[in-house]
Structure 1
Amino acid sequence: MNDTIETLRDFTRSWARLSGLFVRHPYGAGLGLAEARLLYDIGHPDAGQPPPSAAELARMLAMDTGQVSRLLRGLEQRGLVERGPAAGRRTPLRVTAGGQAALAALEAASRQGAAALLAGLPPAAQEDLAAALGRARALLAPDPAATVLRPPRAGEYGWIIGRHGALYGREQGWDALAFEAHVAQILADFGAAPDQRRQALWIAALGGAPAGSVAVVDAGGGTARLRLLILDPVARGRGLGRALLAEAMGFARAQGYARMTLSTYASLLAARRLYAAEGFGLSQSTPVRHWGQALVAEDWDRAL
């Protein structure tokens, strides 16, 4: 915990320096950082929402209402913001024509600054950075609306392998490297399957970054096998496991499979609850020693 705190503090200090936050007017236009942020949020209300009021801005930005009022007075005096007609006890704010021009200049300066930071990074490193930032945002400020199920992108097989090893090693005490090798073999077999149309793999992306996965492969005899179902801790409790399973079962039905089977372990209680809730039943149970642990391997299946 303490190491994480210090890492986060170190990053915020570095980011403040890199992004020029210590400059008095970081984005030009004679506006400080807080004024620029207020102008931006007034000019960009959430989709389908009316322009915010002063009280709503204070809540959105976790700022003191008195501080927001003082900053808004300054923006009004400069002709950048005005108050709209009151609607009951609510007085919306809106950006004036002069404010729109200032906002355009702010956004251009912000984009230029971001481009300058990225200029020294090759495209692959920029993609890595975007994924890391998306994951950081998903961890610190998750947005359920930003969750999508999609096919995997380049590099995400590696994410599936790494997260299986890291999570099962940490949460179950398994031999992480041995388990990663097992998952890598599953993915190698997936890529080498002769009929790719009969199988599929999905990534659950949260804020653009991978947060879960599931796959369906052909087990033969009209049976589909569920594989590689995993959810990052940040993605749990959102119904994503059920969504991934539903996507996999829907695909299997569309491909004409009559049954679906899966393998798990008796100690994976959350997964077993999900399977039972979705109509799977335990068909076989076998004591084994896998991944450095004494486990009970289980097979579950159901008709489609």
Structure 2
Amino acid sequence: MTVQDIRAFNRFYTNVIGALDYGRHLYAPYTLTESRVLYELAHAPRTDAADLRAELSLDAGYLSRILNKFEQDGLVERAPSEKDPRRRRISLTPRGRDAADLLDERARETVGSLLGSVAPGDRARLADAMRSIRDILGDGHAPGAGEVVLREPGPGDLGWIVQRNAALYAAEYGWNTDYEGLVARIVADFAQDHDPHLERVWIAELNQRPVGCVMCVRDDTPATARLRLLLVEPEARGLGLGDRLVEAVIDFARGVGYRELVLWTNDVLGAARRIYQRHGFVLVAEKPHRSFGKDLVGQDWHLHLRGSGE
């Protein structure tokens, strides 16, 4: 492959995209970036502005202008975060959700029309080619969530949990080896003494290799389980894998009779916090601390497991 091959493909694909959005029907009356902001707000209700800016890699001033426009048009509401007044919480109004739903419907119809022009026998080959491009170029989107398998840990998987937690948190947040030591102790405690009926580890596997994990262990409080060490590899993010792992813990904890599920995290882990919020966890306490070489704000989240013997 040469540079010219890639440039030729880029010209071809941008022509396809342009044809899909001929006359700006797909995004009208919004720009592509504005439509993306609406999409993120629709899929992550009550998002902080700082989290939204980081998720979309947008300039703060540019995002602020978009949100000002949305607020003037009655699409969003902005308010101080209930837990941190320094942050601004953004949520869609009913009118904003209608606008996001309309954009989503247009996108589905447009892509459906494109697929309608592809011979049925070629559609699987097209999907495979798209997945191959995403996987090889490493854009953070691995193949579809349907190909991810949640399984019990096998030989070497517990060591993988320690290694990947240490490496990812060092790379993404600058945490030092104190965090690796904490994870190693958590994993060692589970390996040496756990009740298989009440405690469990899940490994998310994609293309026969691990890309995520989570643990459910007993807490010191009676009838309470603790969610620990939720992790999703960068190339597997965007597939809803974090939600699947948290759902697995909730279903397991409820099924074996726990009445409450708790977890401890830090406020810098915005993506994880949004997952917990989507599944009904409530922030009950915050406390600044110095750990892993950083000044952090620790957070305790609780979820009441309705239906557990009530």
Change in Cα spacing, 1:221 to 1:146, as seen in structure 2 (3 Å) is same
Distance 1:194 1:57 in 2: 46
Paired residues, number: 181
Give the residue type in structure 2 aligned to 1:170.
Answer: A
> What is aligned with 2:112?
none
Distance 1:186 1:298 in 2: 18
> What is aligned with 1:9?
none
Give the residue type in structure 2 aligned to 1:290.
Answer: S
> What is aligned with 2:181?
181
Deviation of the 1:218 alpha carbon: 0.6
> What is aligned with 1:142?
142
Give the residue type in structure 2 aligned to 1:211.
Answer: V
Deviation of the 1:142 alpha carbon: 2.9
Give the residue type in structure 1 aligned to 2:247.
Answer: A
What secondary structure, in the 3-state scheme, does the structure 2 residue paired with 1:226 have? strand
> What is aligned with 1:157?
158
Displaced runs of 4 or more, over 6 A: 55-62
Asked if the contact 2:216/2:228 (under 8 Å) is kept, the reply is yes
Deviation of the 1:143 alpha carbon: 2.1
Give the residue type in structure 1 aligned to 2:244.
Answer: A
The Cα offsets for residues 10-32 of structure 1, whole Å up to 9 and x where unpaired, read as xxxxxxxxxxxxxxxxxxxxxxx
> What is aligned with 2:198?
198
After TM superposition, the score normalised by the length of structure 1 is 0.55
Give the residue type in structure 2 aligned to 1:179.
Answer: Y
Distance 1:138 1:251 in 2: 36
What secondary structure, in the 3-state scheme, does the structure 2 residue paired with 1:142 have? coil
Distance 2:243 2:266 in 1: 18
What secondary structure, in the 3-state scheme, does the structure 1 residue paired with 2:175 have? coil
Higher relative contact order (CA 8 A, sep 6+): 2
Change in Cα spacing, 1:300 to 1:57, as seen in structure 2 (3 Å) is closer
Deviation of the 1:190 alpha carbon: 0.9
Structure 2 unaligned residues grouped into runs of 5+: 1-118, 306-310
Distance 2:193 2:255 in 1: 19
Tell me which structure has the larger Cα radius of gyration.
Answer: 1
The Cα offsets for residues 232-268 of structure 1, whole Å up to 9 and x where unpaired, read as 0011111110100000000001110000000000111
Distance 1:243 1:58 in 2: 27
Distance 2:127 2:191 in 1: 49
Change in Cα spacing, 1:192 to 1:207, as seen in structure 2 (3 Å) is same
Distance 2:230 2:136 in 1: 23
> What is aligned with 1:84?
none
Deviation of the 1:52 alpha carbon: 4.3
Distance 1:239 1:255 in 2: 25
Asked if the contact 1:138/1:234 (under 8 Å) is kept, the reply is no
Distance 2:227 2:164 in 1: 18
Give the residue type in structure 2 aligned to 1:235.
Answer: A
Deviation of the 1:207 alpha carbon: 1.0
> What is aligned with 1:256?
257
Q: Does 1:301 align with 2:302?
A: yes
Deviation of the 1:59 alpha carbon: 9.5
> What is aligned with 1:268?
269
> What is aligned with 2:243?
242
What secondary structure, in the 3-state scheme, does the structure 2 residue paired with 1:195 have? coil
Asked if the contact 2:199/2:218 (under 8 Å) is kept, the reply is yes
The Cα offsets for residues 115-139 of structure 1, whole Å up to 9 and x where unpaired, read as xxxxxxxxxxxxxxxxxxxxx7795
What secondary structure, in the 3-state scheme, does the structure 1 residue paired with 2:197 have? helix
Give the residue type in structure 2 aligned to 1:202.
Answer: W
Structure 1 unaligned residues grouped into runs of 5+: 1-49, 63-135
Asked if the contact 1:150/1:205 (under 8 Å) is kept, the reply is yes
Asked if the contact 1:225/1:262 (under 8 Å) is kept, the reply is yes
Asked if the contact 2:178/2:291 (under 8 Å) is kept, the reply is no
The Cα offsets for residues 172-216 of structure 1, whole Å up to 9 and x where unpaired, read as 1110x2211111100111122352321000001111110000010
Asked if the contact 1:142/1:207 (under 8 Å) is kept, the reply is no
Asked if the contact 1:164/1:180 (under 8 Å) is kept, the reply is yes
> What is aligned with 1:217?
217
Asked if the contact 1:137/1:207 (under 8 Å) is kept, the reply is no
Percent same amino acid among aligned pairs?
39
Distance 1:197 1:250 in 2: 14
Give the residue type in structure 2 aligned to 1:203.
Answer: I
Q: How does 1:103-122 map to 2 (within 5 A)?
A: none
What secondary structure, in the 3-state scheme, does the structure 2 residue paired with 1:210 have? strand
The Cα offsets for residues 136-162 of structure 1, whole Å up to 9 and x where unpaired, read as 779588321321100111111111111
What secondary structure, in the 3-state scheme, does the structure 2 residue paired with 1:153 have? coil
